């Protein structure tokens, strides 16, 4: 489908950011001038509380403008990654961002050059008082903040540091093409990064196998290039961690959110300790599908047979809106506004970025990119991304700019809570028993895809960074073989782990997000706990949850989640989620 063929109501409205490309160009020029003027504060930040506040205001103004420029360029680029105009805008604004980062690089070292007591005294000046937590966090980073000269150099390397992920993104979304998949009747199916999972969910096993093999054959063709990009990404992470005197790349990534490394470690351990339950689910899948050998191209297709459950986008809108009713009328009405005010870019079109996300700025709508298919999975994706968007909307509507974003550690909680509420709504309202079984199967698939799969990714990411930190090289053979071994461990004895799966790591863009993936699993676990509390305790739990959504970065993420009712410094939420998985496996086993 071409973008021109999509009705306007199904395209996002980016006018909150810029009315036209010409407005963007004018702001681009303005920001460059503002950045030059920011230099006047160099050497003066601690002159007085008034000067410090003035400098912070100027920095925030510049950062907000910069963020709007970056976001608009990237959203336009993602509409059609082949478009040279938006490729150019995205590249130019990345260069500008690196340039401005270098101009502002004096800010933190200059403040950290003074004792905290001096800065703390300035906080008695009322306009500065809201920055107390920000300054406390800045001084927490003091051992990892370098001299002004080195900070300036590091800022100038950021553009180069984004090369691996940028090249990977262009390869994945713009340049990589796949041979069409053929079903059991000889019918041709378009195979893309966007359509692959839909084909894996097909009832037609011939189609699934053909799509699986052709999909990974294409990745095999590019595997040496992608392995080189992956090694460059890992080395970049290690370089920055060592420059900033962290013990490892993982410790550096988690330090930013004040999350101890014990959190992902206990996640991986808890999941590894409970793989037998996952093996039981695979055994159930093998029995119900009636196959002699269960292959990896059989693990996505629903195991509840003879159930047609298509869901149009309009139907998905209605069900998601009803499902989040426990969160209150205000939350529900904002979701309705998301549809009418065109927060969402709905359908897959030629050249469009694959996958789904929620993205925006402090000054804009929280935009949602989808590639909607008429199935249950896409309905849950809609609920998921709107959870992100509502988290952003409530945070920005409550917090000042300095705390107007939230850490990646809590980012997946709101999205997954929406999915849990949708699952509960469907189980309570569906009258067709087969559809209920289908939803139970889908729920198990959420566990498989989020707790087990993302933990496997996290283990892979941990291992490949440690391998390089210990002097190893990330060759294509090493990456593929290690990933294949992890699949064998996680899927267990009742699954034929097809050799082609060793290329799967190469299709996962989150591998370029610097230790992001484990947070899908911890976030899912927290969401299961919080959704259960809201459905059983009612309004008190809802109030705590809405406070969580409105907290932004006003406190550390571990503390914010603990207040909401999920203590992630213990393994209780993860173990609780794994117990729910076990119960649902047993329930579906009995029903089938």
Q: CA-CA distance, 171 to 225, in Å (whole number)?
A: 10
496 bridge partner residues: 295
Q: What's the angle, vertex CA 352, arms to CA 347 and CA 354, rounded to 5?
A: 85
Q: Are 294 and 286 in contact (CB under 8 A)?
A: yes
Alpha carbon of residue 422 to chain centroid: 20
What residue spans of 172-248 are helical by DSSP H? 196-200, 205-221, 223-243
Question: What is the radius of gyration, based on Cα positions, of the chain?
Answer: 24
Q: CA-CA distance, 170 to 165, in Å (whole number)?
A: 9
Tell which residue, 511, 487, 323, has the closest CA to residue 417: 323
Tell which residue, 432, 419, 437, has the closest CA to residue 382: 419
Q: Are 356 and 369 in contact (CB under 8 A)?
A: yes
Token pair 């899912």: residue: 524
Phi, psi angle pair for 345, to nearest 5°: -105, 110
Q: CA-CA distance, 121 to 71, in Å (whole number)?
A: 37
Helix (H, G, I), strand (E, B) or coil at 308: coil
Contacts of 342 (CB under 8 A, 6+ apart): 8, 9, 11, 12, 13
**For 56, left (φ over 0), alpha (ψ -120 to 50), or beta?**
alpha
Contacts of 498 (CB under 8 A, 6+ apart): 212, 295, 296, 297
CA distances from 400 to 130, 154, 396 (A): 8, 28, 7
Q: CA-CA distance, 336 to 320, in Å (whole number)?
A: 10
Helix (H, G, I), strand (E, B) or coil at 359: strand
CA atoms within 13 A on the CB side of 431: 0
Looking only at the bridges linking them, the beta strands covering 188-189 and 181-182 are antiparallel
Q: CA-CA distance, 280 to 567, in Å (whole number)?
A: 29
Residue from 27, 233, 348, 385 carrying the catalytic annotation: 385
* DSSP collapsed to 3 states, 270-291: HHHHCHHHHHHHHHHHHHHHCC
Q: Catalytic: 504?
A: no
Q: CA-CA distance, 425 to 323, in Å (whole number)?
A: 5
Q: Are 152 and 91 in contact (CB under 8 A)?
A: no
Q: Are 199 and 187 in contact (CB under 8 A)?
A: no
Q: Are 209 and 203 in contact (CB under 8 A)?
A: no
Q: What's the angle, vertex CA 412, arms to CA 434 and CA 543, rounded to 5?
A: 90
CA distances from 58 to 39, 63, 341, 544 (A): 11, 9, 31, 34
Alpha carbon of residue 129 to chain centroid: 32
Catalytic residues: 385
């Amino acid at each position: 489908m071409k973008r021109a063929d999509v009705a306007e109501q199904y395209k996002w409205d980016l006018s909150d950011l810029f009315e036209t490309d010409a407005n963007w160009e004018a702001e681009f020029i303005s920001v460059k001038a503002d950045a030059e003027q920011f230099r006047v504060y160099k050497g003066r930040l601690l002159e007085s509380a008034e000067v410090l506040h003035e400098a912070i205001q100027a920095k925030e103004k510049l950062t907000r403008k910069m963020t709007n420029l970056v976001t608009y360029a990237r959203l336009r680029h993602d509409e059609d990654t082949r478009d040279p105009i938006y490729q150019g805008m995205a590249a130019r604004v990345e260069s500008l961002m690196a340039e401005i980062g270098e101009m502002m690089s004096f800010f933190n070292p200059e403040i950290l050059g003074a004792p905290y007591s001096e800065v703390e005294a300035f906080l008695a000046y009322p306009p500065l008082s809201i920055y107390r937590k920000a300054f406390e966090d800045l001084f927490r980073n003091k051992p990892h903040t370098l001299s002004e000269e080195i900070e300036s150099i590091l800022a100038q390397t950021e553009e180069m540091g984004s090369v691996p992920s940028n090249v990977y993104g262009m390869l994945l979304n713009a340049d990589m093409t796949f041979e069409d998949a053929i079903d059991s009747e000889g019918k041709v199916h378009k195979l893309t990064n966007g359509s692959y999972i839909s084909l894996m969910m097909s009832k037609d096993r011939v189609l699934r196998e053909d799509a699986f093999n052709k999909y990974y054959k294409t990745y095999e063709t590019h595997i040496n290039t992608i392995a080189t990009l992956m090694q460059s990404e890992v080395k970049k992470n290690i370089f920055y961690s060592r420059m900033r005197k962290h013990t490892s790349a993982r410790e550096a990534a988690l330090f930013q959110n004040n999350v101890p490394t014990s959190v992902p470690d206990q996640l991986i351990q808890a999941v590894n300790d409970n793989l037998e339950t996952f093996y039981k689910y695979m055994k159930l899948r093998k029995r119900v599908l009636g196959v002699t050998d269960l292959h990896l191209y059989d693990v996505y297709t629903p195991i509840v047979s003879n159930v047609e459950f298509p869901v149009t986008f309009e139907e998905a809108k209605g069900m998601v809106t009803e499902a989040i009713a426990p969160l209150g009328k205000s939350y529900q009405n904002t979701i309705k506004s998301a549809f009418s005010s065109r927060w969402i870019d709905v359908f897959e079109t030629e050249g469009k970025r694959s996958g789904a996300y929620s993205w925006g700025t402090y000054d804009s709508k929280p935009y949602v990119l989808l590639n909607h298919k008429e199935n249950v999975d896409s309905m849950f994706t809609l609920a998921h991304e709107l959870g992100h968007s509502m988290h952003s909307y409530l945070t920005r509507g409550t917090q000042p700019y300095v705390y107007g974003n939230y850490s990646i550690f809590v980012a997946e909680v709101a999205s997954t809570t929406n999915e849990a509420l949708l699952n509960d709504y469907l189980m309570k309202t569906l009258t067709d028993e087969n559809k209920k079984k289908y939803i139970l199967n889908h729920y198990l698939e959420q566990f498989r895809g989020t707790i087990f799969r993302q933990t496997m990714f996290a283990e892979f990411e941990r291992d490949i960074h440690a391998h390089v930190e210990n002097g190893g090289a990330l060759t294509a053979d090493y990456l593929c073989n290690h990933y294949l071994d992890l699949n064998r461990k996680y899927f267990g004895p009742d699954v034929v782990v097809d050799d082609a799966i060793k290329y799967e790591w190469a299709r996962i863009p989150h591998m370029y997000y610097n230790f992001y993936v484990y947070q899908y699993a911890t976030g899912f676990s927290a969401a299961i706990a919080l959704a259960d509390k809201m459905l059983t305790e009612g309004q008190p739990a809802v109030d705590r949850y809405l406070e969580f959504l409105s907290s932004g970065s006003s406190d550390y993420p571990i503390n914010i989640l603990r207040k909401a009712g999920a203590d992630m410094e213990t393994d209780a939420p993860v173990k609780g989620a794994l117990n729910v998985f076990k119960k649902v496996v047993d329930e579906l086993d009995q029903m089938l």
